[in-house]
Amino acid sequence: MNRREFLKQGVSATGGVMLSGEVKPAASVSVTDLGADPTGRKDSTAAVRAAIQKVSKIGGRLNFPKGTYLFTPTSGMILSFNSYQRLTVEGNGSLLKFSGNAQPFTFAACSDLQFADLRIDWQDPPFSQGQVQSVAGYQVDIALDPDYRNYPIASVEAIGQYARATKLPAPKGIDSYYNVASIQRVSPELVRLTLKKQLPLTAGMCVVLRHRVYGSNAVVLRKCVNSRIFGVTIHTAPGLGLVALGCTDIALATFAVTPPPDSSRYMSTCSDGSHFVDCRGTLSLSHCTFLGMGDDAVNVFASYWKVEESYAGECHVSARSHSPIGDWQLPRAGDTLQFVDATTLAPLQQATIKGASLAGSNAILTTNGTGVAPRGALVCNQMSAPKLEVMDSHFLGNRARGIVAHSNVTIENNNFWGCSLPAILLAADAKWMEGPVVNNVLISQNRFGNCGYAYPGAGTGVITISTSQDAAASSAVQAKQVNSNITVSENTFDPSPLAAVYCAAAWNVSLLNNVVSTPAAASGLASMALVNASGIHLSGNSGSNAADIVLDHCTNVNAGTNQRLTVKRTDAS
């Protein structure tokens, strides 16, 4: 299907064609008709805003004739769309360049949105890169690479060590945050940082300096329904690439977060490439590409809230660190709440929502039940975890993970290479207040290589399924088996410095027909590791070299034939 067919027909939440009929826009507006400059020499902010005002609220189309468009405001929302129905934003391959900490696109309460065929970049990248020239105690001089000598550096919120050969974070490299006390521009080529605490930096190290980590985001969807994003590329952003908050049914096709072609940049977005919070329905990604993010490529979760007070049929809840709960997060009547123990994440009870309201930064949830949830328990809206489908996509290297997700997940026929942490992380987490627990997962026919190389160790795998997102905490496996119904099949694992699969606190786990290339020199490296698991099916897996499938406190194991892989128990189970 080409781009115009996609825009005409749309893509349904399940990835198929949605034949709802083509709607002719009531008003098709070209931004150049209102004075936008497609040469990129003059600011187009006022002209594009004026064009947006002319677009019909129902069935409208905003058109960017192919060109380069410059937006010079350095803060605030630049292009905002509120309560549009059947809106099309058509880029025709245009490049839109933004500035400072401005937020390019915001879509709020829109339905049947089609956002297509444009590229988003920044005039000045929100990061710099260069080479450590000298270190004297807390003072570090960095010689900037040629492409970064004309950009201002007002702040440095993160310092990351990178490898020139791969343009990826260095193995066991420096990854420091909020540690710069002052910045001095000695010359266009040289920047001097004074650190709050010393780091093991040495002359010759390659570093990326993120000016912001959680700054503005390139595209924000809030409470939108049935959004289709096609042919959109985000080259960078001071924060996240695409953010969806409380949305229903999202389809991304040929979406990309990557540095510009032939660019010297080691980084794309300063944080996640895409981030989906408390969304519903189906979230599908197909033929997408991710490279160079400062954090995860795809992060999908439903929020955990903490029970502060509880009565029969009512509970008061707070978010992580008492941050404000948004109206877009509130459960709807008929939604199912799952209460879990805050330590083990084991289920305590369920309730059906009657109503929900904000109370300051917290929320009040009323249910049809008479049970009283324990104070301190966590609660998650089961409807706020969308069905995730990731197909035919490429994860080509970044700091952190390729995919972070939880329940109702299908990941098929993708390539993962160069993720500095696990390629796929499935883990509910009481610290970060992200859930729900892992359930109904299929990971099949993918290829992995050189993943998890930054900090390899026990408690992680190229695919990690656990009850904590932090590797350091993963060794403390929860006593309860809370993750379930997991199948990892027919994947190819090229060499990585950790187990292909690490799965903990789970039941009904099938590892079938996977090919694992364990490096011959990695003595003692497990091909797969399962800890505190039951109902395990191991069959048809093969290894390039002799290696172990390690079982620790596992029961009800059905082990078939696995070539050059030996099932090894490390306990008396």
* Together in a domain, 557 and 421: yes
Q: In this structure, are 239 and 220 located in the same domain?
A: yes
Of 210, 231, 258, the domain-final residue: 210
- Mean pLDDT value across residues 251-258: 98
Q: In this structure, are 319 and 405 located in the same domain?
A: no
Per-chain mean pLDDT for the chain: 92
* CATH number of the domain that residue 61 is part of: 2.160.20.10
pLDDT tens for residues 93-136? 999 999 999 999 999 999 999 999 999 999 999 999 999 999 99
Per-residue pLDDT, 323: 96
Is residue 94 located within the same domain as residue 178?
no
Average pLDDT over every residue of 217-244 = 98
What is the predicted pLDDT for the residue at 372? 83
Return the SS3 of 320: helix
Residue 292 falls inside a structural domain: no
Instruction: Say if 280 falls within a structural domain.
Output: no
Query: What mean pLDDT comes out for the span 490-501?
Result: 95
Helix (H) or strand (E) holding 8: helix 3-9
**Domain's final residue, options 342, 357, 383:** 383
Residues 6+ apart with CB under 8 A from 510: 486, 487, 488, 489, 536, 537
Range(s) of the domain holding residue 22: 3-124+215-272
Query: In terms of C-beta density within 10 A (0-12 exposed, 13-18 middle, 19 or more buried), how is residue 233 classed?
Result: buried
The single residue listed with the structure tokens 């079982």 is 551
- Confidence at 369, pLDDT banded by 50, 70, 90: confident
Residues 349 and 439 both lie in one domain: no
In this prediction, residue 477 has a pLDDT band, given cuts at 50, 70 and 90, of low
Q: Is 18 exposed, middle or buried (0-12, 13-18, 19+ CB in 10 A)?
A: middle
Is the model's pLDDT at 176 over the cut of 90?
A: yes
pLDDT at site 472: 54
Same domain, 319 and 413: no
Q: pLDDT band for 519, please (50, 70, 90 cuts).
A: low
Whether residue 34 is found in the same domain as residue 112: yes
Percentage of residues in the chain having pLDDT higher than 90: 86
Q: Is 116 left (phi over 0), alpha (psi -120 to 50) or beta?
A: beta
Is 421 part of any domain? yes
- Asked if residue 305 belongs to a domain, the reply is no
pLDDT at 357: 97
Same domain assignment for residues 373 and 407: no
CB 346 within 8 A of CB 340: yes
Q: Which residues pair with 349 in a beta bridge?
A: 339
- pLDDT for residue 457 is more than 90: no
Q: What is the mean pLDDT of residues 11-28?
A: 44
pLDDT of residue 455: 85
The pLDDT, as a whole number, for residue 503 is 95
Strand boundaries in 223-335, DSSP class E: 225-234, 242-245, 248-253, 256-257, 274-277, 280-286, 289-290, 298-311, 314-318
> Do 241 and 109 sit in the same domain of this protein?
yes
On whether both 335 and 392 belong to a single domain, the answer is: no
Q: Which residue has the higher pLDDT, 339 or 479?
A: 339
pLDDT per position as a tens digit, 44-67? 999 999 999 999 999 999 999 999
Confidence of residue 18 (pLDDT cuts 50, 70, 90): very low
Question: Would you say residue 415 lies in a domain?
Answer: yes
Q: What is the pLDDT of residues 374-425, one digit of tens each?
A: 999 999 999 999 999 999 999 999 999 999 999 999 999 999 999 999 999 9
**Domain CATH for 165:** 2.40.10.170
Q: Please check whether residue 25 is in contact with residue 88, taking contact to mean a CB–CB distance below 8 angstroms.
A: yes
Same domain membership, residue 150 and residue 263: no
Buried b / exposed e across 476-485, counting CB within 10 Å, b at 16+?
A: ebbebbbbbb
- The domain tally of the chain equals 4
CB-facing half-sphere around the CA of 60: CA atoms within 13 A: 19
In a domain, 298, yes or no: no
pLDDT in the model for residue 546: 84
Residue 166 forms part of a structural domain:
yes
Does residue 10 register a pLDDT over 60?
no
Which residue's structure tokens are 């359930």?
439
Give a yes or no: residue 521 inside a domain. Answer: yes
Of residues 178 and 3, more confidence is placed in: 178
Residue 3, pLDDT > 70, answer: no
Q: Same structural domain for residues 203 and 235?
A: no
pLDDT of residue 132: 98
pTM above 0.85, yes or no: yes
